[in-house]
Amino acid sequence: MGQHRCRVTDVQPEILAIRVTVMPRDTNAHGTIFGGHILSLIDQAGAIAAHALGAEKLVTVAMREVEFKQPVHVGDLVSCWVRVVRVGRTSVTSIVRVVAQSPTAQARGEPERDVTQAEVVYVHIDDAGRPRAMPRP
């Protein structure tokens, strides 16, 4: 039998990686947040979690199961929560959950809305761009 070369890290808590307010420049022609902007936030949030594990240089190799559930509007507070679900020999896989809340909903104490979720895979690389082993705890 082959050796397993990954550790499952579901026991790590979900962390808040990014929190921003949606500005007019972040929107599409319909006045809601541009999907590409959310994808950029997801990519950055997942990388923050991977760097926290000791990875120095990372490249994004996959963004899977991206699901846009609800629109996000100008003025909404957007938060990206990340949970590392797998650490391989050279890679890190995270689930990034994006939630939003309008200032009015926040003032009323209403819950945040789940708006997007994605699985993101990063590979740790060396200076030549080749896969490099992830640091071990």
Percent of the chain with pLDDT strictly greater than 70: 91
State the CB neighbour count (10 A cutoff) for residue 36: 10
Please give the model's pTM, rounded to 2 decimal places.
Answer: 0.88
Q: What class, spelled out in words, does domain 15-125 have in CATH?
A: alpha beta
What one-character-per-residue DSSP string does 85-129 give?
A: EEE-SSEEEEEEEEEEE-HHHHHHTPPPEEEEEEEEEEEEE-TTS
* Strand ranges (E), 11-112: 15-21, 57-68, 77-87, 91-101
Q: Is the pLDDT of residue 83 over 60?
A: yes
- Residues 6-47 have pLDDT tens digits of 454 454 689 999 999 999 999 999 999 999 999 999 999 999
Residues ≥6 apart with Cβ < 8 Å to 117:
65, 66, 67, 69, 95, 96, 97, 98
